[in-house]
């Protein structure tokens, strides 16, 4: 069995194997040469200690060719005992083909060797969903450029092509905006965290949290991702989840007071961290932020959040009530929709399409080209109606794709076996752009914890996004998984152990929510330490 993840569309095993050694010569079409050189030739050289020699196409045994009839992310690979040939139409297919070649040649496991070998095989492969994404929240806990790049590398290795970068929230503003410098002075530092659980709002540590990305950092990471065929979509959360901005610029709040410091409690930030939509100041601010950021992110999408917007401040705000009356809006829901449409229109002028979380569909009357990202745990009939009416949907269903949740709740099988039909959606008209896993970081303070939450669920996410649903098989996936776990182990990357992947534990989930969000991680780490101690 060939242990590829995600599973290809067509795979036919042959006889024999192809070897890359000092005698092999390679040819690559110049259109994709930069990608192949960086992602394959250079990686092979690190293992073998020499660069593969190049030659004319007719003299090469290893070939990377252009096939114009293939779609952007589609590729073909044919390996015999005498040659290996790859066909793609451009960079996207080249990146995806390389991710498969690296698995075929077992490059993830081999650090040094005199040759590499891959089994004879024919593969024709293309993605089921256009968008296959992962969200990283850097507001609650900040991650460095190098940590983000390592995550992007893992994503590319498994054909994930969208990085949803949650840059702002109540607990931190992580991107430089030159017109509003206080956002990263007052809005990017807090004195501690509500560290134990959602149900323990008073359990706060005194460890300062800080960090942000300069615009130069953003440009560097976006370029790095582009080389990996990964589109970066920024999320600037508004008008709720806005406390960090209100700490920096209190005049954007309904009472003009904002926050004296970033709220550490999740509850306090959510209830009061809402912008005043009855003042033109918020539109001036929003447009200025967008105008700076659209220059840094070439993706055609821009996410503004829009979830969990508590509207009680608007009920008591004379400016908000005046705006509702002046524009004939349907109360506070109408005011929220009014804001969404104004921002979407401004984004459209900048060549961007707006994404919001699916709660905005309750507003009614929002522009049809606004994309809804469906996350909420309970059934959302608004999302079903919107999809049937032609609106585009991204699926991030809480019970399958929220990787901040314990493995005891979002088990590996729940991620892998997800079907859009299970939430009363259908992709018959191609209305579902794709799926995105989400890693919120209220309780994820470092890269080790990040990896524990992500793996091996990221592999299941990748196959669910890439592979045709009719071809998916969980038992087959589990049989292919050991190689990929061995790669993680060889790279000293933490992952959740097998015994908790699919162990449903509702009592544990209750503990996570009410008492200790770290119970699962700490238990496993303690057991690991004990095993090492006993082994000594």
Predicted confidence (pLDDT) per residue in 375-416, tens digit: 999 999 999 999 999 999 999 999 999 999 999 999 999 999
pLDDT tens track for 247-286: 999 999 999 999 999 999 888 899 999 999 999 999 999 9
Structure confidence at residue 525 (pLDDT) = 84
Degrees (nearest 5) of the Cα angle 383, 462, 457? 90
* Assigned token pair, 254: 């309904």
At a CB cut-off of 8 Å and minimum separation 6, what does 336 contact? 239, 277, 306, 309, 311, 360, 363
Q: Is the pLDDT of residue 535 over 60?
A: no
d(CA 137, CA 453): 13
Q: How many CA atoms within 13 Å lie on the side-chain side of 9?
A: 16
Alpha helices (H) in 350-446, listed in sequence order? 381-388, 398-401, 412-416
CA–CA separation, 284 and 287 (whole Å): 5
Give the HSE-up count for residue 535: Cα atoms under 13 Å, Cβ half-sphere.
6
**pLDDT band at residue 65 under the 50/70/90 scheme:** very high
User: What's the start-to-end Cα distance of the chain, in Å?
Assistant: 36
* Percent above pLDDT 70 for the chain: 98
Cα(211)–Cα(190) distance, integer angstroms: 10
Give the E-state strand segments of 423-473 in sequence order. 432-439
Average pLDDT rounded to a whole number, residues 349-358: 98
Residue 527: predicted pLDDT: 72
Q: What is the mean pLDDT of residues 7-23?
A: 98
Tell me how far apart the alpha carbons of residues 472 and 342 are, in angstroms, rounded to a whole number. 42
Cβ proximity of 264 and 334 under 8 Å: no
Q: Does position 536 have pLDDT exceeding 50, yes or no?
A: no
Mean pLDDT of 58-69: 98
Taking only the tens place, the pLDDT of each residue in 236-257 is 999 999 999 999 999 999 999 9
> In this predicted structure, what is the pLDDT of residue 268?
87
Lowest-confidence region among 163-167, 494-498, 526-530? 526-530
- SS3 for 229-250 is CCEEEEECCCCCCCHHHHHHCH
**What's the pLDDT band for 530 if we cut at 50, 70, 90?**
low
Tell me the C-alpha distance between 181 and 187, whole Å: 9
- What is the phi-psi region of residue 157: left when phi exceeds 0, alpha when psi lies from -120 to 50, beta otherwise? alpha
Predicted confidence at residue 529, as pLDDT, reads 52
Task: Check residue 533 and give its pLDDT.
Answer: 40
Which tokens belong to 307? Answer: 């979830």
What's the whole-number average pLDDT of the chain? 96
What is the per-residue pLDDT across 219-238, written as a single tens digit (0 to 9) for each? 999 999 999 999 999 999 99
Residue 89: C-alpha distances to residues 5, 27, 96, 329, 453 (Å): 22, 16, 11, 49, 35
Residue 456 has a pLDDT of 98
Average pLDDT over residues 101-123: 97
Three-state DSSP class for residue 86: strand
Eight-class DSSP state of 424: T
pLDDT computed for residue 531 by the predictor: 54
pLDDT digits 0-9 by tens, 128-162? 999 999 999 999 999 999 999 999 999 999 999 99
> b/e for 330-351, b at 16 or more Cβ within 10 A?
eebbbbbbbbbbbbbebbeeee
pLDDT of residue 429: 82
Closest by CA to 515, choosing from 271, 141, 201, is: 201
- 3-state SS record for 22-62: CCCEEEECCCCHHHHHHHHHHHHHHHHCCCCEECCHHHCCE
* 124: its two tokens: 């024709």
pLDDT confidence of residue 32: 98
What is the per-residue pLDDT for 234? 99
């Amino acid at each position: 069995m060939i242990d590829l993840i995600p599973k290809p569309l067509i795979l036919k095993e042959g006889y024999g194997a192809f070897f890359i050694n000092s005698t092999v010569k390679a040819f690559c079409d110049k259109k994709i040469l930069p990608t192949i050189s960086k992602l394959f030739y250079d990686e092979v050289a690190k293992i073998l200690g020499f660069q593969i020699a190049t030659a004319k196409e007719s003299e090469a045994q290893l070939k990377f060719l252009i096939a114009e009839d293939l779609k952007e992310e589609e590729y073909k690979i044919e390996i015999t005992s005498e040659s290996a040939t790859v066909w793609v139409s451009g960079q996207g297919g080249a990146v995806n083909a390389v991710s498969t070649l690296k698995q075929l040649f077992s490059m993830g496991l081999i650090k040094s060797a005199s040759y590499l070998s891959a089994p004879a095989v024919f593969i024709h492969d293309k993605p089921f969903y256009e968008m296959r994404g992962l969200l990283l929240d850097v507001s609650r806990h900040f991650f460095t450029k190098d940590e983000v790049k390592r995550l992007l590398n893992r994503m590319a290795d498994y054909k994930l092509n969208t990085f949803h970068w949650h840059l702002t929230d109540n607990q931190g503003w992580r991107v430089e905006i030159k017109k509003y410098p206080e956002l990263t002075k007052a809005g990017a530092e807090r004195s501690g965290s509500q560290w134990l659980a959602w149900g323990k709002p008073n359990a706060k540590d005194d460890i300062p949290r800080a960090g942000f990305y300069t615009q130069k950092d953003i440009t560097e990471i976006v370029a790095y991702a582009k080389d990996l065929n990964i589109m970066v979509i920024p999320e600037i959360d508004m008008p709720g989840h806005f406390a960090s901005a209100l700490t920096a610029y209190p005049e954007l709040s309904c009472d003009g007071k904002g926050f004296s410091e970033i709220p550490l409690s999740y509850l306090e930030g959510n209830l009061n961290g809402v912008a005043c939509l009855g003042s033109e100041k918020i539109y001036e601010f929003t447009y200025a932020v967008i105008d700076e950021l659209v220059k840094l992110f070439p993706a055609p999408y821009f996410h503004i959040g829009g979830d969990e917007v508590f509207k009680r401040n608007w009920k008591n705000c004379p400016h908000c009530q005046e705006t509702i009356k002046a524009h004939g809006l349907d109360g506070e829901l109408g005011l929220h929709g009014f804001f969404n449409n104004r921002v979407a229109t401004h984004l459209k002028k900048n060549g961007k399409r707006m994404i919001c979380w699916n709660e905005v569909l309750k507003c009614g009357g929002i522009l049809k080209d606004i994309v809804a990202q469906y996350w909420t745990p309970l059934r959302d009939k608004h999302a079903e109606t919107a999809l049937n009416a032609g609106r585009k949907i991204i699926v991030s269903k809480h019970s399958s794709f929220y990787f901040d949740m314990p493995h005891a709740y979002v088990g590996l099988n729940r991620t892998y076996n997800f079907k859009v039909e299970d939430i009363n959606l259908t992709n018959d008209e191609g209305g579902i752009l794709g799926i995105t896993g989400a890693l919120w970081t209220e309780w994820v303070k470092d890269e080790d914890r990040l990896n524990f939450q992500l793996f091996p669920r990221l592999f299941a996410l990748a196959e669910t996004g890439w592979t045709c649903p009719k071809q998916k098989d969980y038992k087959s996936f589990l049989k292919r998984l050991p190689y990929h776990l061995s790669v993680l182990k060889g790279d000293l990357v933490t992952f959740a152990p097998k015994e908790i992947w699919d162990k449903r534990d509702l009592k544990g989930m209750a503990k996570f929510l009410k008492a200790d969000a770290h119970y699962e991680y700490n238990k496993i780490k303690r057991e690991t330490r004990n095993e090492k101690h006993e082994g000594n």
